[in-house]
Amino acid sequence: MGAYFGVVSHQCFTVIGDDGTYTMKELPPGTYTIKTWHQEYGTHNQQVRVGAKESETQDFTVKG
């Protein structure tokens, strides 16, 4: 059995589902850096800009 936890200074976070999808709801408009982490493949960062009343898709490809 193992566990991981992270402490962040904001309320913008999510956990990826078993099917690899994620959703972050109710983000204010702005530019965000999305940071992913995997225990074997490390971290990956990508920026996404979200406009007012918009939804955006940000895909990640992690090479192992």
Tens-digit pLDDT string for the chain (64 aa): 766 777 878 778 888 888 888 888 888 899 999 888 888 888 888 999 999 988 888 888 877 6
Per the structure, how many domains does the chain have?
1
What is the sign of the dihedral through the CA atoms of 8, 41, 18 and 46? Answer: positive
**Which residues form the domain of 52?**
1-64
Give the 3-state secondary structure of residue 29.
coil
> Whole-model pTM?
0.67
